[in-house]
Amino acid sequence: MQTKIVFSEKCLGYGKWHVEGPQRIKVASDILREKGYEFLEPTPASEDDLLLVHDFEYLWNVKKGLIEDTDTPAYDNIFEYARLSVGGALLASQIGGFSLMRPPGHHVGRNGAALGVYTRGFCYLNNIAIAVKKLGKQTLILDVDGHHGNGTQEVFQGDEKVTYLSLHQSPNYPGTGSKSEENTINFFLPPDAGGKLYLETLDKALQQVDFSKFGLVAVSVGFDTHLGDLASLGLVEKDFWEIGKRVASIRKPAFFVLEGGYHGEKVGLDIDSFLRGYEENK
């Protein structure tokens, strides 16, 4: 059965000139509609949902626009956009879908920037972390964005219910994820490593995981690993099919939340390739 896409055009309403702008999502959504995917509309997450991960004071500061940093502006109504993006992750987690929403989330910890980093990398609320917390299941979070998810690691560090596994480019923003510790498994790769090395490293990383412990896989999917994107690991469209195949091989229910990927046409085609790799092998 084809994975459903969770999307709302409301998420296109801010940040027109930012690198994390609406065009990347608009173009990707148009491509996926043309390919026949079914789309579902999310509703905003409740504040009680947000408090599962974030402190009240941090949420208040997001509401009031007191959170601007060098790459994460305090847009008008950004709290509402971010709440809707969390709602996309929540709906995806309930149906095994793919949340095609913005803003992304994996750089945000409990109180904002995480693990000694001073910016939030285009993120306001940690979408995937909130969805995983709400489900409350033994979960493997697989983060294949090209940047390390320092916020997600911080939220779940030491949590016996969750293992966080990240493959990311180094050196690159945010400069974290150089070692594995407790329930966190980090693997880093050089810029433009290429599909062969990437997939070999992913296989090696997955071999460290006892899948019998988990009832769910939550995937932070970033397509900034595509050749020429912001965290290029030299991947091309067919490599994302292979990543989807490996997620399917875990043989657990899964859901997917978009993180990075800044070339809209490539993002749309890569999502299709990734989901076909997953669907054809599960």
**Which amino acids are annotated catalytic?**
107
End-to-end alpha-carbon separation of the chain, Å?
10
**Pairing status of strand 254-258 against strand 139-143:** unpaired
184 touches 157 (CB < 8 A): yes
Task: Report helix, strand or coil for 45.
Answer: coil
Contacts for 34 with CB less than 8 Å, ≥ 6 apart: none
- Residues 6+ positions from 220 with CB-CB distance below 8 Å: 106, 128, 141, 142, 143, 144, 145, 149, 152, 257, 259
Give how far the C-alpha of residue 280 lies from the chain's centroid of Cα atoms, to the nearest Å: 22
